[in-house]
Structure 1
Amino acid sequence: MTVAGKATKFEYKALHKPNQLNYGSGQTAVITGWTVKQAIAKHLQPQEYAVIGQLYSPTRGINLLIRNLLFNPHVRFLVVLNASKEDKNAGACECLLDFFRNGVEESLSDIGRRAWVIRSPIPGYIDIEIDINTLEKLRYSVEYKEVKSIAEAVNLAKSYAQREILEPWGLRLEFPMSTVEPTVLPGTRYGHRIEGKTIAETWVKIIHRIKTTGTIRPTGYDGQWQELIDLMAIITDEPADFYFPEPNYLPIDRPFLEEYVSQILDDAPYREGLKYTYGQRLRSWFGRDQIGQVIQKLIGEIDAASAVMNLWDVKDHEKGGSPCLNHIWLRVVDNELSLTATLRSNDMFAAWPANAMGLRALQRHIRDEIAKRSKYELKMGPLITISQSAHIYDDTWDNAERLIANQYAAIFNQRSYYDPSGNFLIEVDGKEIVISHTTAGSGEVIKSYRGKNPLNLLREICATSPAIQPEHTGYLGIELQKASNCIKSCQLYIQDQ
């Protein structure tokens, strides 16, 4: 950098997410929202911008973006591209603009953490450790403007580059940042099963499982994630209008969901800078309306096992930016329509609730269309998602811990004791323990066990019925030992007493 008024080159240094930015030598930061940053960068020369980067989330991204700007005070201009439906849904660019328009106030985040809350209808937070006077100085030192198209963003960046070079508004500033180091317990690496009645309930269980036993790995971008491999989530009773807890602890709300569902159900025209939507991949990407295809497939062959939709394009290997949702399978069994979706990579904290609700909406749409066009009146079956990489990014670990602390115990205590593997009636006959295994529904006896050693009996039961729920297995162990103790002490044994 040289004196003001003369040609100079600035160097942008990012403290956070450095590998996700395009760097130049100018004084303008371009925020592209959900539009891919290369769609802007390819039209500009490096001297015409300081940095170009995307902004997806107001609650996760703005805080890091502000920290990076404070460390690069030579940035004097800000271009915010707030153009797409995805930008509107996420609200990140609008919230960033509200920071510069309206500032912040000290309050609590949605998880109860002290923070600078941006004065915006869209929730956005900045760490309380950052000095308020510095935030105010940043607001008044950077000229910002919202744009609505790639062309407008490029033209504005070029016009800023023609202006006289300005002195940095201050020195590089870095503020302390708290980190959360999770305690990881031993657990299975591959293959996990979690079931709940609603998406909200299942989500809390998923976050608890990942935070408890997930492996910590580098993300391949910047930072770390905590991950389980091949996590199957089963939602059995999500209501037609979706369940949102009160107060709502989910990372989405109803207005967001309404917009998101359209991205799965509806086709979308190609727009420069936006990769695709799931609806585009399902409706037109391969030259076929796959949603329409599976509806007709099931009407013609209701028990077909080939009602499959595919979102993966073999060209994705070459282009990059491949969809996280890869495969959807519909199946009718006993007049019940289930949907199974495979996701290769799944942000379970921020994205999975929206993914699951969008897929449930698709499942209901297919069920309703089959009813309209045929004689079949199908029941809504379970929604199953298989997340091959089920992970939580390190910038949400603190939020995940608070979610677990606030919600997991209540959800766990509301658990159902129903076990599809059946029930076990335990009695004592002389010197032996007798166990009758009955069906979960009718109570019909399907198998009997008899013996004196409670551990051997438990092992035999588990070997015969390996799908027994873990809590049920523990209960059996306790009751069998009680029965054995009663035999030894010549006392009367009554189950559950």
Structure 2
Amino acid sequence: MERYYKPLYKPNQVFCGSGQTAIVTGWTLKSTVKKKLEEHEYGAIGQLYSATRGINFLVRNLLWNPHIRFLIVVNATREDKNSGAVQCLLNFFRQGFEDGESEEGVKCWKIKSKVLGYIDLEIPLENLQLLRESIKCHEATSITEAVTLAKELAELGEKPEWATPALFPLVENLPTVLPGQRYGHRIEGKTIAETWIKIIHRIKTTGVLRPTGYDGQVQELINLMAVVTDEPPEFFFPEPSYLPIDRDFLEQYIPQILEDAPYHEGIKYTYGQRMRSWFGRDQIEQVIAKLINEIDAASAVINLWDSGCGNLFQRPDSSSDHEHSGSPCLTNIWVRVVDGEISLTATFRSNDMFGAWPANAMGLRALQRYIRDAIAQRSKYNLTMGPLVTLSQSAHLYDDTFETADRVIAAHYDRICNSRDYFDPAGNFVIELTSDEHGEKILVTQIPGSGKAVSYYSGVNAVKLVREIAAASPAIQTEHIGYLGVELQKAAQCLKTQTTYTQDL
């Protein structure tokens, strides 16, 4: 009797067949494995990117499909080693699990693995134990090995179901969305860790809820600019760290940005490969040479999007990134030098701001420093490190991170905002009462970091003065303009009552 795999969770991310073997391909493209197998030779084929976000769904789907008797886990790529997701899954079957807590302090089943992986307590211990005992787990280190093993297992004949289907629904908590602008956002922080907290707070507060093609929802802001001004060379990890990555992960990830990698069928590109060789030339080296030759050039650009012909240098097909899934999220990089300072701006068409942005930002910062250092070694220019800027057309959080994001915000957002230094590029504003032949009035002097006054505003109406200042300095920080409104209203009241005004600093 044919029994097709029926995934309850993330069904559009799984290829379903009539066999008794589930294949988890990790970062290897699932379509590459599927096209080498007949439908009866597999029950399900899907990818696994994250241990903390993916194993929960997989376990639930396997408990609902007890005719699956074999599991093949493909552990083949640098990305698999880096994320550790497939290794954590293997450890679940090999080493088991125990009572524990997530990094946010939520009680759960914790997989016995160096790679963090959790399963919800809603699934009883006896069901998880039965799952581990009933499914035979195999590791494959290549596509060829996985396909060969799947074909061999299909020849063993049909085995009976090891249990009745068991359903364990997920508890969904949809966020409350406050009104806010849809397009165009700017967030700035000194470090990537600080900026990240501000980003997820902004998205969780005003981001729009949208369905995805991946069986879930995202909360999204469109066109979000994140500016990191002072990330240290060794990178800042808070103690205790609230970031979704650690230093070990970062050490494995940075080479994916800086280094080339050979093309293999079914293996996803790396950003380094796209920049170093995908189009038949090393774009990072081209940018370095461009800036050495013309230090103030506005054309030091790296392109990662393939319109359909560049990949002929790397792979036999000529498909465009418009024509297939798995196209790069990072699409362009600009490097600029202004007044001896080197900045890097990166554009993402789609950006998972919770799970991916911190690693993306640190990898790009490493690239920015690599280019700076190469220019210093090969020329007379010893540039200082300027800001890192990311432009995310779709800046989003996936629904399986909503609760974790809320806990991180609750634990750290207020402290980070309260520790700010109140520096505003728009400058300081000195408010005083003065008089001339027309009578008494409020005088506001704008003084930037240079200490020299650049503008004056005067009048008797606080609202008009606020509007005038905001129009002249549109980038003024929102907290700063709120402070000016309060102070100008105080000054206007002092004018009316003929009392002394003192600015509250």
TM-score normalised over the length of structure 1: 0.97
CA distance in 1, matches of 2:442, 2:451: 16
What corresponds to 1:3 in structure 2? none
1:97 paired to 2:90? yes
SS, match of residue 226 in structure 2: strand
SS, match of residue 488 in structure 2: helix
Task: Tell me how far 1:216 sits from its aligned partner.
Answer: 0.3
What corresponds to 1:81 in structure 2? 74
What corresponds to 1:216 in structure 2? 209
What corresponds to 2:117 in structure 1? 124
Alignment of 1:409-488 (within 5 A): 409-430=414-435, 432-488=440-496
1:38 aligned partner, one-letter code:
S
Task: Tell me how far 1:176 sits from its aligned partner.
Answer: 3.2
TM-score normalised over the length of structure 2: 0.96
Task: Tell me how far 1:439 sits from its aligned partner.
Answer: 3.0
Query: Which residue among 242, 250, 254 is the counterpart of 1:261?
Result: 254
Q: Deviations over 1:330-356 (max 9, x none)?
A: 000010000000000000000000000
CA distance in 1, matches of 2:301, 2:24: 38
2:423 aligned partner, one-letter code:
Y
SS, match of residue 412 in structure 2: helix
Query: Which residue among 307, 310, 324 is the counterpart of 2:303?
Result: 310
CA distance in 2, matches of 1:77, 1:159: 11
Contact 1:426 1:433 in 2 (8 A): no
What corresponds to 1:29 in structure 2? 22
CA distance in 2, matches of 1:394, 1:65: 16
Contact 1:98 1:119 in 2 (8 A): yes
Contact 1:89 1:260 in 2 (8 A): yes
CA distance in 2, matches of 1:242, 1:101: 35
Query: Which residue among 376, 379, 383 is the counterpart of 2:388?
Result: 383
1:408 aligned partner, one-letter code:
Y
Structure 1 alignment gaps of length 5 or more: 1-7
CA distance in 2, matches of 1:282, 1:142: 42
Alignment of 1:124-273 (within 5 A): 124-273=117-266
Structure 2 alignment gaps of length 5 or more: 308-319
SS, match of residue 167 in structure 2: coil
Q: Deviations over 1:20-52 (max 9, x none)?
A: 111110110011100001111111111111101
CA distance in 2, matches of 1:468, 1:211: 23
Query: Which residue among 349, 357, 360 is the counterpart of 1:355?
Result: 360
Q: Deviations over 1:167-219 (max 9, x none)?
A: 10101101132111100000010000000000000000000000000000011
Contact 1:434 1:448 in 2 (8 A): no
Query: Which residue among 243, 262, 275 is the counterpart of 2:268?
Result: 275
2:367 aligned partner, one-letter code:
L
Contact 1:439 1:446 in 2 (8 A): yes
CA distance in 2, matches of 1:132, 1:435: 71
CA distance in 1, matches of 2:468, 2:383: 39
Contact 1:229 1:389 in 2 (8 A): yes
CA distance in 1, matches of 2:51, 2:386: 35
1:58 paired to 2:51? yes
Contact 2:442 2:492 in 1 (8 A): no
2:150 aligned partner, one-letter code:
A
Alignment of 1:372-411 (within 5 A): 372-411=377-416
1:108 paired to 2:96? no
Q: Deviations over 1:76-105 (max 9, x none)?
A: 111111111100001011100111112111
CA distance in 1, matches of 2:487, 2:418: 21
CA distance in 2, matches of 1:480, 1:436: 9
Task: Tell me how far 1:432 sits from its aligned partner.
Answer: 3.2
Q: Deviations over 1:293-332 (max 9, x none)?
A: 0000000000000000100110212234211000000000
Task: Tell me how far 1:421 sits from its aligned partner.
Answer: 0.8
Percent identity over the alignment is 63
1:125 aligned partner, one-letter code:
Y
Task: Tell me how far 1:435 sits from its aligned partner.
Answer: 2.7
1:44 paired to 2:52? no
1:333 paired to 2:334? no
1:413 aligned partner, one-letter code:
N
CA distance in 2, matches of 1:132, 1:479: 61
SS, match of residue 222 in structure 2: strand
Contact 2:448 2:454 in 1 (8 A): no
